[in-house]
Chains A and B, each alone.
Chain A
Amino acid sequence: MALLEVKDLTSGYGELQILWGMNLEVEQGKLTALVGSNGAGKTTLLRAIVGQLFPWQGTVTFDGRDVSKLRPYTKAELGLIMVPEGRQLFTDMTVQENLEMGATPKHSRIHMDRNLAKVFDLFPRLRERAKQTAGTMSGGEQQMLAVARGIMSEPKILIIDELSLGLAPVLTLDLFQALRRLQREEGTTILLVEQNVRMALKVSDYAYVVSEGKVDFHGPSSEVENNPAVREAYLGI
């Protein structure tokens, strides 16, 4: 059974409907990519999954439980963690404090020291900057911290919105590799939302292509990568 299942989900803002019956399954231990152009409804879908937005119809099932109506902090406690678009760090707090705030869910709080060592190992730069105020770091370092803060919560699923946005390609590659390592070594399930379709398909196991608030196409990433329609629309080949 899938760890996260989205079924016939519709939602939007006020009168404006964005999601028109989304269906999505994220398998335990896999790195799943969600790709699509701007305005396809990717971020809206994530907001509905974590509870920043309520579903109008349909359900979100996580770990065998209907979580459609739960608030974000309750879902975080269950192990459903999102690294939001634009990082959303606690910019006035230090790097170390941001990481401590990541270790809020009870199951992660008791392992805080171990997890700190883990993220510092994954991102050595953060160890050097531990006492620095988060808002004063470069964009790339901030994105590292946002991901690291998510890892500190010991997520069952880590959802990452626009990992590569505004980052240099080299840095993006580093971050993708760190995620890959996390998935392989810790078995963390990851749902990655990306505009950089090429890279997302390369690094993921399974992929969903969405447009206009619906899933267009899904399959193992290698298949999606070779799909002629996808190649034409997103990879420019």
Chain B
Amino acid sequence: MNIVENFDLFAPRLINKKELFSCGHRACSGCAEVLSVRLMCKALGDDTVVASATGCMEIVSSMFPTTAWRIPWIHVAFENAAAVASGVEAGLKALRKKGKIDDRYIKVVGMAGDGGTMDIGIQALSGAMERGHDMIYVCFDNEAYMNTGIQRSSGTPMGASTTTAPAGKASSGQKTWKKNMPEIMVAHEIPYVATVCPSYPLDFIRKFEKARNIKGPSYIHCFSVCPTGWRSPSETAVSMGRLAVETGVFPLFEVESGHYRMSPDMPKKLKPLRSYFKPQGRFRHLTDAEIDAIQERVTAEFNKLTQKAKFL
């Protein structure tokens, strides 16, 4: 219940009232990714331009001839959101410098899912971050290719059953550990890397606001529960995100100029992984031994991270 206590009575008063992402979008019922997009828009405000990759958020929001977006938005292809965003940033910079547009500060955002970021889009992302464009890149991670029908990506966690890494008599689903994308971004030595989850809206908004005010590239990794792909009840989308954080599966932290800081929302003591796995159909086939092995890895990874937060 601490979320509610922290959250207090003030939440709506602290949050931008303007809905920059409209009702009528076609996201599945209980989609935490579209909730994340809605909160991101609130945090960043009107003076934002979004370049989106192909994916769930693109198709649910832009059914021609209508759009859910109330901020400028462009979609070009799947693997190039970061490159398109970098071009928008360069274009706006040149036009502002030459006095061809007004000189307000506009933040450019590139966004994609886990597949669009960690698999097919990682080259364009690495390039854009290395070049130092003044932009935010957001990975909305729902841990598989949900838009195309729940195929595995390099963001799919060990043991999860997907349509291309299904659990069966001879398989326990995903055979590989989730790619550690935030660390790959930290290795780019960009000014700001953060993880967020919409289950913690104030932490979420604070980190987006911080990224907005940083001149240079920021990377935000957003954990986005997908009830459809995870085979979990739609009403638990927010509580499931909270469990991912509380079990240490998805720790909330930020890295500013190489300095790690755990989010104050992180619990002192982690909950057991089982409480997070149990309500999700994608993990239902796992044996106790398999869960124990994954638990071991989650604990180890979490300890590694807290060490960095202590010393880096």
Q: Do A and B bind each other?
A: no
Report which B residues bind A (CB closer than 8 A): none
